[in-house]
């Protein structure tokens, strides 16, 4: 089935944003093309440069390169923009510092809406995966300032809490891991003295970054479904199939926000984590076209049949996660009617069991979960295609939030999730595809 005939699986406009966020590379990097914030429907019109975006006939490599990233929002600009959004929204968007990174940078949350369903959004847990932060900022601006019926429905039915750029140290270094040594972990948790370092501790070169002098952790392996867990020496070094430990300040901040929302609302209805994947994956039904993004709602094995996880079985709701992802998929397929590249959406691999991720841990606590995996990290694409990729994230979030706010999400068929096409192969250069299994898990899995 071709991209243009792929069916929907049943069943914006706003004021100009801060200049620093909308200047720079135009959509698809085409000279003379207008740029716009992600909520602008001007980005929904097909452009001649779209063929270059989707065409897998061109050579593609996953080999790391030093590419421009200055058009993405850095930590300083994030603080400025959140302050502006809070101000122009007349207080509808409430910004709060909820913690600090290991190197002392502020981690902020932004909250909009007063509804009974809590939705938590996070971005840049991997510091070289940046489109989610810009999409969140544009979403907060629109949700806080728009007087449209849709925006009012969101604010009345949802409480949206976003933590953009939750790994600011990694983001400033433009690398996957945070900036934290094992010695610093042991200083904070003396009970770990003598333990082997955690398996997700980077001290080697990875994705073109040398961690030998400034080591760090994959923060997205540091979660635990036990929200009160305290690190224990016997649980180290662990593995990708086991839970994490909340040893990084960044994961603890998100855990504490999640726990606070759970106490306030009884549960966190939905948790969304915004990521990037490799640049060279192709569509399974059209290997001449690249994947724009992949989505998923499945990160852990069914706890009912997993020894040690049975206590989470009553809260775990995979069907709801599937419905949320169908809402994302439908929104992007609808947008593909005008700009077909939005339709190049696949399922992320479903054969993973990652209870140490935020998505896995929070799914076990009863939240519906959605993973976005956007095409290309900064070491492979840099800021190329920034506008259209950010718009892709925004469209998916918009469709999902609208479905939750209206209740339509409960009318979607979870079986439709399984009909979303699987991700095709990575056609990147052989040197990038010959990594060890351990590196493949760490780099490509979530």
Q: Looking at residue 430, what is its pLDDT?
A: 54
For 261-380, list the strands marked E by DSSP. 270-277, 282-283, 286-290, 293-296, 345-347, 368-375
Distance between first and last Cα of the chain: 28
**Per-residue pLDDT of the chain in tens (446 residues, 90 and over written 9):** 332 333 444 433 332 333 333 333 333 334 324 478 999 999 999 998 899 999 988 789 999 999 999 999 999 999 999 999 999 999 999 999 999 999 999 999 999 999 999 999 999 999 999 999 999 999 999 999 999 999 999 999 999 999 999 999 999 999 999 999 999 999 999 999 999 999 999 999 999 999 999 999 999 999 999 999 999 999 999 999 999 999 999 999 999 999 999 999 999 999 999 999 999 999 999 999 999 999 999 999 999 999 999 999 999 999 999 999 999 999 999 999 999 999 999 999 999 999 999 999 999 999 999 999 999 999 999 999 999 999 999 999 999 999 999 999 999 999 999 999 999 999 997 554 444 333 443 343 44
Q: Looking at residue 431, what is its pLDDT?
A: 53
What CATH number does residue 129 fall under?
3.40.630.10
Closest CA to 25 of 65, 73, 71, 67: 71
> What is the spatial distance between Cα 288 and Cα 55, in angstroms, rounded to a whole number?
6
In the chain, the number of structural domains is 1
Q: Looking at residue 5, what is its pLDDT?
A: 35
Q: Which domain holds residue 348?
A: 3-444
Q: What's the pTM? A: 0.91
For 17-157, list the strands marked E by DSSP. 93-100, 106-112, 117-123
> What is the spatial distance between Cα 143 and Cα 203, in angstroms, rounded to a whole number?
41
Which residues touch 400 (CB under 8 Å, ≥6 apart)?
A: 270, 272, 324, 327, 328, 331, 370, 409
Cβ–Cβ < 8 Å for 297, 396: no
Q: Looking at residue 429, what is its pLDDT?
A: 75
> What is the spatial distance between Cα 98 and Cα 104, in angstroms, rounded to a whole number?
12
Query: If you write DSSP's letter for every residue of 116-151 in order, what string do you get?
Result: SEEEEEEE-SSTT--HHHHHHHHHHHHHHH--SHHH
| Helix pair 149-157, 131-145: axis angle to 10 deg | 100
Closest CA to 444 of 191, 186, 126, 196: 126
> What is the spatial distance between Cα 437 and Cα 79, in angstroms, rounded to a whole number?
38
Radius of gyration of the chain (CA): 20
């Amino acid at each position: 089935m071709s991209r243009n005939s792929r069916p929907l699986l049943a069943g914006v406009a706003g004021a100009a944003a801060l200049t620093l966020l909308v200047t720079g590379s135009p959509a698809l990097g085409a000279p003379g093309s207008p740029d716009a914030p992600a909520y602008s429907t001007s980005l929904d019109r097909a452009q001649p440069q779209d063929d270059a975006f989707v065409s897998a006939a061109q050579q593609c490599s996953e080999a790391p390169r030093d590419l421009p990233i200055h058009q993405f929002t850095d930590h300083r600009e994030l603080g400025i923009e959140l302050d502006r959004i809070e101000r122009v929204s007349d207080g509808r968007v409430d910004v709060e510092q909820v913690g600090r990174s290991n190197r002392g940078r502020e981690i902020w949350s932004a909250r909009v809406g007063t509804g009974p369903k809590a939705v938590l959004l996070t971005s840049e847990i991997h510091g070289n995966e940046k489109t989610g932060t810009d999409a969140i900022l544009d979403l907060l601006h629109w949700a806080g300032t728009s007087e449209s019926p849709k925006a009012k429905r969101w604010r009345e039915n949802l409480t949206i809490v976003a933590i953009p750029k939750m790994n600011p140290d990694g983001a400033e270094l433009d690398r996957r891991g945070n900036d934290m040594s094992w010695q610093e972990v042991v200083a904070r948790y003396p009970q770990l003295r003598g333990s082997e370092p955690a398996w997700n501790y980077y001290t080697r070169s990875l994705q073109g970054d040398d961690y030998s002098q400034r080591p760090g952790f994959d923060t997205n392996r540091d979660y635990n479904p036990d929200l009160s867990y305290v690190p224990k020496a016997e649980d180290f070094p662990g593995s990708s199939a086991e839970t994490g430990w909340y040893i990084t300040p960044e994961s603890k901040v998100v855990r504490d926000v999640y726990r606070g929302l759970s106490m306030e609302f009884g549960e966190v209805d939905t948790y969304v984590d915004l990521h990037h994947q490799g640049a060279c994956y192709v569509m399974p039904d059209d290997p001449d076209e690249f994947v724009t993004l992949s989505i998923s709602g499945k990160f852990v094995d069914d706890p009912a049949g997993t020894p040690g996880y049975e206590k989470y079985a009553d809260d775990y709701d995979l069907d709801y996660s599937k419905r949320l992802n169908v809402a994302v998929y439908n929104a992007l397929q609808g947008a593909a009617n005008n700009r077909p590249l939005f339709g190049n959406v696949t399922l992320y691999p479903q054969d993973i069991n990652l209870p140490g991720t935020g998505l896995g841990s929070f799914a076990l606590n009863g939240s519906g979960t959605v993973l976005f995996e956007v095409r290309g990290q900064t070491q492979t694409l840099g800021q190329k295609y920034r506008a259209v990729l950010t718009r892709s994230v925004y469209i998916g979030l918009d469709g999902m939030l609208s479905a939750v706010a209206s209740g339509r999400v409960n009318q979607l068929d979870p079986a439709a999730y399984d009909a979303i096409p699987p991700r095709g192969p990575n056609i990147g250069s052989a040197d990038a595809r010959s990594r060890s299994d351990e590196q493949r898990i760490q780099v490509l899995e979530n």
